[in-house]
Chain A
Amino acid sequence: MTAQASLEQIRADVGRRKLFDKLFVVVGMLVMFSALLVLAVLFIDLVQKGAPRLNLDFLTQFPSRKPERAGILSAWVGTSLIMLTTAAITMPVGVAAAIYLEEYAPKNWVTAIIEINVTNLAGVPSIIYGLLALGLFVYQFNLGQTILTAGLTLSLLILPIVIVATREALRAVPRPIREAAYALGATRWEVTAHHVLPYSMGGILTGMIIGLSRAIGETAPLITIGALSFIAFLPQSPVTGEFPFLSFAWLKDAFTAMPIQMFNWVSRPDPRFQINAAAAGAILLGMTLLMNGVAIWLRYRYRKRINW
């Protein structure tokens, strides 16, 4: 074998290997953009198919047996109230748990158990939370199939998401800020409340929005606790005419929600209901994408603005 031949061999070999590199870039881009294309196609298809129903009437009518008169009034009101309840429960509990784990927790077995549980709960299928709620909230605590039960269920479901996101946000605050505050005689809570929390607010908010965007589309746990799909009335109003102007009676009302309404329409054989399903899906998907968009934008903005 001459030196000439082996050099040519090496050249050919390198050429082939470089071709592999280029091929991989093409394949990688192709797979990635096809995945994103699916999302675009899905959204456009939903809007197109649902277009005949995407109007104000759709938002202001109750469900009905006649597809062209059925609307999502009770569904979107239900979803809004459930989200309000979920946020009101998750925000304090999730942030408090994260503060404990990140700022207070000593290194011992109690902390280890809590951490393992948070990680594991993030992997528990959502329908299991539905069964938990059915056994615990509906039958044990007798809360019934109400907005309160739904809010509690979804709170437990998104709690791990909020805890993990909040911990990341707290961890991003540099140690010197805490040490400076301690040096001035602040207690641990003062350090946390006056310095660490304000700096990490952006990250906490982002985690909260991501969590709620997960909760808004959850269907299975709500079906499991026995949500009805045909609700032709609204929950009691949270605002009343007399003192104290606020009422929480709606917490004990039956409900339906956007994803449940959509599921109900999808599972009907009449193709005219599929138009309604598409319209509801377009609104639901639009809301989820909007929430995620806001979260991404917030994350981007906070990351850009803060320079430690």
Chain B
Amino acid sequence: MTGTVPGLAYRKLRDRVIETLLLGAALVAVFTTLAIVVVLVRESLPFFEHVSLRDFLTDTMWTPLFADARYGIMPLVAGTMVTTLVALAVAIPCGTLIAIYLSEFAPHRLREIIKPALELLGAVPTVVYGYFALMMVTPFLQKLIPGLPGFNMLSAGLVIGIMIIPYVASVSEDAMRAVPTYMREGSYAMGATRFQTATRVVVPGAMSGIAAAYILGISRAVGETMVVAVAAGLQPNLTWNPTEPAATITAFIVQVSLGDLPHDSIGYQSIFAAGLVLMLMTLVFNIAGFTLTRRFRQAY
């Protein structure tokens, strides 16, 4: 018998068509990235025709919506950095501690319950966290720090820190669990305690994954919008003092979007320039993370 299976040609053709469709869906990710770059660059080009790059980077005032407009991005970058640093001051110690505890100390059943519960902390809508920062954390902080303004970067940063704990903890924990058991056993055999094994064998061994977790936390904190828009005030303010109100890059974009600016106004273009800076900052952190991960990578 030499005949082929009936319908085989049709089935093969169908497979080819479907494969092309699937590839098309996968390429959406590539097009999205391209579109982000194109839109940000194209829409902010008119802005940079109007404002010199030098002014943009060195001017200390950001008032694109005022009659006497100044276009220095530094106040927004400073605001972003301060809230991010406050957030990291919370998330890195807490997240790392939780990761070490869950990976090295917690009983299996407890970990199975705690891990998803912690992830809920990262699932809370950010606007709800904004409410939390403004209505609960700030009044509490005002009791500790007299004269703290109602809008301040400290409370926004603290809340962002709580928000990113699960990202830091979960990725670090995965990295620590990937450290092979025989390394722990070697350490125990030398008479080390659990704590010593955790801090001197497991953490150094998992450093590349832990660095990746920190970087993930940083890019979350840098891009966080609603918490700062609600709780940190919307006034650009070049300061490194977290108890002052200030706007971040993201908060500025929200503030402008809430108004009704015409498409060709400089205010409209300025949010794309701000977005471009934000994107570049995230990119820098991601590249740094990638390099760090490479540097610390250990072959078992």
Contacts and interface: CB of A to CB of B under 8 A. Distances in A.
Contact of B101 (A29, A39, A131): A29
Contact of B162 (A35, A188, A266): A35
A124 interface: yes
Contacts of B134: 266
A131 B40 contact: yes
Nearest to B125: A217
Interface string A123-159: 1111111111011100100000000000000001001
Contacts of B26: 96-97, 100-101, 105, 114
B1 interface: no
Contacts of B125: 216-219, 259, 281, 284-285, 288
Nearest to B25: A96
Contacts of B204: none
Contacts of A130: 253, 257
B289 to A, nearest CB: 9
Contacts of B219: 123, 125
B225 A127 contact: yes
B116 A132 contact: no
B257 A223 contact: yes
Given A17-B195, A42-B128, A288-B125, A131 B253 contact: yes
B53 interface: no
B145 interface: no
Contact of B118 (A35, A42, A96, A100): A35
Contacts of A82: none
A123 B33 CA distance: 12
A128 B36 contact: yes
Contacts, number: 251
A5 interface: no
A186 to B, nearest CB: 9
B120 A135 contact: no
A38 interface: yes
Q: Is the interface of B mostly helix, strand, loop or mixed?
A: helix
B223 interface: yes
A93 interface: yes
A249 interface: no
A128 B30 contact: no
Nearest to B218: A123
Interface string B243-271: 00000001001100110100100000001
Nearest to A138: B263
A126 B119 contact: no
Interface in A160-181: 160, 163
Given A28-B100, A125-B282, A223 B118 contact: no
Interface stretch (A18-26, A58-66, A239-247): A18-26
A124 B257 contact: no
Given A136-B35, A188-B15, A288-B123, A131 B271 contact: yes
A266 B36 contact: no
A219 B12 contact: no
A139 B263 contact: yes
Interface in B210-228: 216, 219, 222-226
Contacts of A4: none
A180 B19 CA distance: 21
A182 interface: no
Nearest to B99: A28
B193 interface: yes
B98 A121 contact: no
Contact of A214 (B98, B114, B118, B123): B123
Interface string B265-279: 000000110010011
B15 A131 contact: no
B42 to A, nearest CB: 7
Contact of A224 (B42, B135, B165, B257): B257
Contact of A132 (B14, B39, B196, B250): B39
Nearest 3 CB-CB pairings of A with B: A125-B223, A217-B125, A28-B101
Given A136-B39, A226-B257, A266-B135, 20 more contacts: A32-B114, A35-B165, A38-B121, A45-B136, A117-B29, A117-B32, A117-B33, A120-B33, A127-B250, A128-B36, A128-B278, A129-B36, A135-B39, A217-B123, A219-B125, A223-B254, A224-B257, A262-B128, A262-B131, A278-B131
